Amino acid sequence: MLCDDCKKKPASISFKEVLPDKTIELNLCDECASKRGLLVTRKLSPVEILQKLLRQRSEQDEKVICPRCYLSLAEFKRIGRFGCSDCLTTFTSHIQHLIKQIHQSDRHIGRKAAPGTKQGLEVYRLREELKKALESESYEDAAKIRDQLREYGIKDV
């Protein structure tokens, strides 16, 4: 199968964009996929997300410390893993903006084409949004977010 964009090179990746009225299927070569900004997203593995995370350092990192194992966020970024199960809770709010950034770069990809980690991040993000919507009593927003979560098969919301 040839690439849909250049019609010259063999397609190596196929994308599916699910829209309300139709499904667009694209078969692209590596080059055209990266031109469309799709390739980068496709290759974003949990390790890469972590690496991206680790590259972003700030002074504040030294002050964010896990109350249980005393690992600092700065240290976490250096060693690349958590010290205990509480670290995640401690660091989440500080790394959230990054998770959001990663999500935004994913946005142009159809949901059905985003399994695994990206979906996990999306669900994570939606849950956070839902919490916020409920806290601010925006029930209309909350209902919308619940619908989105259901699309991911999350029913306990």
Residues forming contacts to Zn ion in the complex (CB under 5 A) are: 3, 5-6, 9, 29, 32, 66, 68-69, 71, 83-84, 86-87
Please identify, using beta-carbon distances, which residue of 86 and 141 lies nearer to Zn ion.
Answer: 86
Smallest distance from Zn ion to CB 95, Å:
14
Q: Alpha carbon of 58 to those of 53, 66, 140: distances in Å?
A: 11, 17, 37
Helix (H, G, I), strand (E, B) or coil at 26: strand
Q: Which is nearer to Zn ion, 65 or 113 (CB)?
A: 65
Q: How far is the CB of 69 from Zn ion (least distance, A)?
A: 3
72 or 114, CB closer to Zn ion?
72
CB of 83 to Zn ion, least distance (A): 4
Q: Which residues of 120-145 are buried (b: 16+ CB within 10 A; e: fewer)?
A: ebbbebbebbbeebeeeeeeeebeeb
> Which tokens hold the place of 52?
């991206």
